[in-house]
Amino acid sequence: MQSIATAGNGIYTNASDLTGLVDLFNGTAGNLVGIDHVDVTMNDGSFISHIAIDGLGNFVLPNATLFFGANIFTAVAYDTVGNSATAELILTAVPEPSTYAMLGMGLVLIGWISRRRIAD
């Protein structure tokens, strides 16, 4: 079994010693999906290379500020033999309900002032 896992760039864990499995899920000993590392281009154009991944291939990005319009994040994942795959995430900023409430109150205020001027 170990030779099959090694030939497929996988990881073999002996069932009698689960230390390797624990290390795998802690992100300290490879991963189940064969990803070596991930590089990400953030929405502001900054580049982050060799982002650590956990045993399932998940990774965490630092906080990012969303701008008006499309915010494009591009991730390139590299496997253990040098192949790569690219994925793109496009996000748009959505106003929060409090923003709409402020807009509505401002329009009501403008209407009230306009009506008051007409009445005077």
Which domains are delineated in the chain?
Answer: 2-95 (2.60.40)
Reduce the DSSP state of residue 13 to 3 states and report it.
coil
Which stretch of DSSP H or E encloses residue 116? helix 97-119
Q: What is the pLDDT of residue 1?
A: 44
Query: Which residues of the chain register pLDDT less than 70?
Result: 1-34, 55-57
Q: What is the pLDDT of residue 38?
A: 86
Q: What is the pLDDT of residue 15?
A: 55
Q: What is the pLDDT of residue 41?
A: 93
What is this structure's pTM? 0.54
Q: What is the pLDDT of residue 30?
A: 55
Q: What is the pLDDT of residue 35?
A: 74
CA distance 67 to 4: 47
CA distance 44 to 52: 21
